Chain A
Amino acid sequence: MFAPIEDLYRLAPELVLCTFGILVMLAEPFVPRKRSGLVAFLALLGAGAALAATRLSWAHPGTAFYGLVRVDDFSIFLHFVVGAVAVLVILGSRDYLEREGLHRGEFYALVLFATAGMGVMVSAQELVTAFIGLEISSISSYILASFRRNVPKSNESAMKYFLLGSFATSFFLYGVALVYGATGTTLLSRMDSASGNPTLLRLGLGMIFIGLAFKVASAPFQLWTPDVYEGAPTPVTALLSSGPKAAAFALLLRIFDTVFAASQLWVWAIWVSAALTMFAGNLAALVQSNVKRMLAYSSIAHAGYILVAFAARNEIGTAAVLFYLVAYALMKLGAFTMVTHLGGEGERRLEINDYAGLGSQQPAAAAFLTLYLFSLLGLPVTAGFLGKFYIFNAALKSHLVWLAVLLAINTVISAYYYLRVIVVMYMREPQKEWAATPIPRAVGLVLVLTAAGTLYLGLFPNYLMEFATQSAVLPR
């Protein structure tokens, strides 16, 4: 009655993540305060081991546990993405937690559990399993967002995140219940063959779409994003803007590609949502003075770009989504890590004007930030440029000329606010003296890795793009 050993191989990344999550919690009380780096190291080891485990499970494609989860190139690709995000977030958060006096093992355990949840989401073949994965990642995120317990702003952002997040989850659930009512099954692969009630099925899929649209912060369900991103601890913001978003997009893609009814129904919804999301993000970002808030709106805009590729509804589009998720995770993680470091104790320096004179006083930091901003804007030689190029290409292949035009217009709009930060950094005289804190080693490593990744993908995208194209073929 035990599961075959093959099934365990297929679940290796989640098993490793959960085991290390529990180990971190167990180790925490035994590690003296002064040596708290050990706990962080253990967590880092866990995230790294999860990447290795992903490599292991790659060799065992197929479905596991009565068809509830499936290991294929698509799920492996996203496992690598969320695993790498976990590694970078853990690396980047240790010094932050020390600085803010928040250092507790639970933080890392939650990051590992959240990553396990995302792993389940990207390989789920069935809606109950997907739902549990979604909840594991969401609930961990709520707790992480409220980790700065003594800061009212952080409490408030966690509260909003929690209330709107669980509201969205309840929509998702109602949708799943209706889909089950229409087809009698929660297995994605069986939904089309079941002689169901088409209206009910469409309605349920529509509500699932709404629930997931909340999670990826696409318009008109993006209102929570700026508040949550601004109030959460910055390393958590970095996590929220990359990992869970990638996982939610993956789940959307999976449903979209497996259930024929969904692909018919969602096309227009995605078209409209993509257009709205791009404008909502970019126009609001223009008037922001807080860097975190500006980056939050920019991440809404990027969700819109990804939806454009989504709307293309072909394999090039799916590959473009996957490539962009990687590029986007790299540049957003880098940017938020830099913001974390520059924020200083208590996250005080977060206004764009605080960055005046950074170019002359901390040239290295300014150079890194400039690179990320260029990539977010989509200038050549960066990952962001090629990501946008692939999306553009996919949209044109599907004759979505208007959407491609809107994407181009939005890129131009976004130039204003990205370049403004760079202008402030290099052209403006500093208002107050920077107490230049040296960049800690772990943070430096994150910066170097993300910057190198951004440049590498900008110059040599072929390897990743091939992998993405190969992963874009979803078995039905």
Chain B
Amino acid sequence: MIPTSHYLFLSLALFTIGVIGVLTRRNVIIILMSIELILNAVNINLVAFSRMFGNVNGQIFAIFVITDAAAEAAVGLGIIIAFFRNRPTVLADEMDILKW
């Protein structure tokens, strides 16, 4: 059996990469994908812990996370489309009407 800590390391790596992506990229679509990556990191944790404890609570939580990711993606992409209609840019830097 693979120790749980292996999975936790993998999850931590993906989480960190995701956070770096959110903070350094300027393209909002890529930022959104980085957030999805973080949610995936959460899921690895949940499923690995679920096996560690021998209960399925973690897997249930993972299903909810996936559902939420779908809802968030739909709304987020909708917001991006609405934004793009008025100002054809997807770069976060160019969002400068407000001071940020």
Contact = CB atoms under 8 A, between A and B. Distances in A.
Q: Do chains A and B stick together as partners?
A: yes
Interface of A: 128, 131-132, 135, 139, 142-143, 146, 149-153, 155-160, 162-163, 166-167, 169-170, 173-174, 176-178, 180-181, 184-186, 226-227, 230-231
Nearest to B52: A181
Q: Tell me the dominant secondary structure on chain B's binding face.
A: helix
B56 to A, nearest CB: 12
A180 B35 contact: no
Given A159-B79, A170-B38, A177-B61, A139 B71 contact: yes
Q: Tell me the dominant secondary structure on chain A's binding face.
A: helix
B79 A170 contact: no
Interface string B52-77: 11010110110011001001100110
B83 A159 contact: yes
Given A159-B95, A170-B18, 11 more contacts: A143-B75, A152-B83, A155-B82, A155-B86, A156-B83, A160-B100, A166-B72, A167-B22, A167-B38, A180-B61, A184-B55
Q: Which of A170, A226, A227 has the most CB of B within 10 A?
A: A170
Contact of B53 (A156, A157, A184): A184
Nearest to A183: B53
Interface of B: 8, 15, 18, 22, 28, 31-32, 35, 38-39, 41-42, 45-46, 49, 52-53, 55, 57-58, 60-61, 64-65, 68, 71-72, 75-76, 78-80, 82-83, 85-87, 92, 95, 97-100
B74 to A, nearest CB: 9
A185 B15 CA distance: 22
A125 B56 CA distance: 19
A128 B72 CA distance: 16
Contact of B76 (A132, A151, A152, A166): A166
A185 B55 CA distance: 9
B5 to A, nearest CB: 11
Nearest to B87: A152
A135 B95 contact: no
Nearest to B99: A227
13 contacts: A128-B60, A135-B72, A143-B75, A153-B98, A156-B83, A159-B95, A160-B98, A166-B76, A180-B46, A180-B58, A184-B55, A227-B100, A231-B98
Nearest to A185: B57
A155 B35 contact: no
A158 B98 CA distance: 11
Nearest to A182: B49
B46 A177 contact: yes
Nearest to A178: B45
Contacts of A173: 38-39, 42, 65
A231 B82 CA distance: 14
B61 A159 contact: no
B41 A163 contact: no
A139 B73 CA distance: 10
B45 A177 contact: yes
Contacts of B82: 146, 149, 155, 158
A306 to B, nearest CB: 25
Nearest to B54: A184
A169 B64 CA distance: 13
A181 B80 CA distance: 35
Nearest to A172: B42
Nearest to A223: B100
Given A149-B82, A174-B42, A186 B75 contact: no
A322 to B, nearest CB: 29
Contacts of A152: 83, 86-87, 97
A155 B79 contact: yes
Contacts of A150: 86
A156 B95 contact: yes
A184 B51 CA distance: 10
Contacts of A131: 64, 68
Contacts of A157: 98
Nearest to B100: A227
B78 to A, nearest CB: 8
B10 to A, nearest CB: 13
A231 B86 CA distance: 15
A228 B46 CA distance: 32
B87 A155 contact: yes
B38 A174 contact: yes
Contact of B98 (A128, A156, A178, A181): A156
Q: Which of B31, B46, B68, B87 has the most CB of A within 10 A?
A: B68
Q: Which of A156, A174, A177, A226 has the most CB of B within 10 A?
A: A177
- The 9 closest A-B CB pairs, nearest first, are A177-B45, A170-B38, A155-B83, A181-B49, A227-B98, A184-B53, A152-B86, A173-B42, A156-B95
